[in-house]
């Protein structure tokens, strides 16, 4: 089974596998892409609503990798759906791919290259240069903004 992100409908992704998606993806789509969603649903695509427990697991994994701030509520729910259904997530989103890798969720990319490796991000203060493992709104030392960076 494959769980389809918005990018699958935007790029006209076609699959012989059983498919699923979530209501929030349908709400994001308009015009021709919304018609593709409707056609896929009419062809038997499963609409899945992931449980809060799975969403919390995704949120925790995203905190561990440092991707939580990059993920929308829809992204969290798509990852949770793929996790619950033991399905392949179809997406081009790098942050989603990184969290999926952490959770051992298979990913298929559509229009871009997939991630080469899982990353645990660090956050660096734009003012004093200190780095932190957790994302915060501001640096607790000097109050400047933090930016995400690869520690490698």
How far apart are the C-alpha atoms of 9 and 33, rounded to whole Å?
A: 5
Q: What is the DSSP letter of 69?
A: G
Give me the domains of the chain, ranges plus CATH numbers.
2-108 (3.40.50.1010), 120-152 (2.20.28)
The predicted model scores a pTM of 0.74
The strand pairing partners of 46, in sequence order, are 20
- Tokens 């030392």 sit on residue: 141
The 10s digit of each residue's pLDDT in 44-63 is 999 999 999 999 999 999 99
What are the respective helix, strand and coil percentages of the chain, to the nearest 5? 40, 15, 45
Q: Report pLDDT digits (tens) over 89-122.
A: 999 898 999 999 999 999 999 876 544 555 566 7
């Amino acid at each position: 089974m494959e769980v389809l992100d918005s990018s699958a409908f935007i790029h006209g992704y076609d699959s012989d596998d059983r498919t699923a998606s979530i209501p929030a993806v349908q709400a994001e789509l308009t015009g021709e892409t919304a018609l593709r969603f409707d056609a896929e649903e009419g062809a038997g695509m499963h609409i899945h609503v992931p449980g809060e427990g799975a969403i919390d697991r995704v949120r925790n994994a995203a905190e561990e990798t440092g991707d939580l701030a990059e993920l929308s509520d829809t992204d969290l729910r798509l990852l949770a759906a793929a996790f619950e259904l033991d399905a392949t997530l179809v997406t081009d989103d790098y942050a989603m791919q990184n969290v999926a890798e952490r959770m051992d969720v298979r990913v298929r990319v559509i229009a871009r290259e997939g991630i080469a490796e899982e990353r645990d991000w660090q956050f660096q203060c734009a003012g004093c240069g200190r780095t932190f493992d957790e994302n915060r709104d501001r640096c607790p030392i000097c109050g400047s903004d933090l930016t995400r960076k690869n520690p490698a």
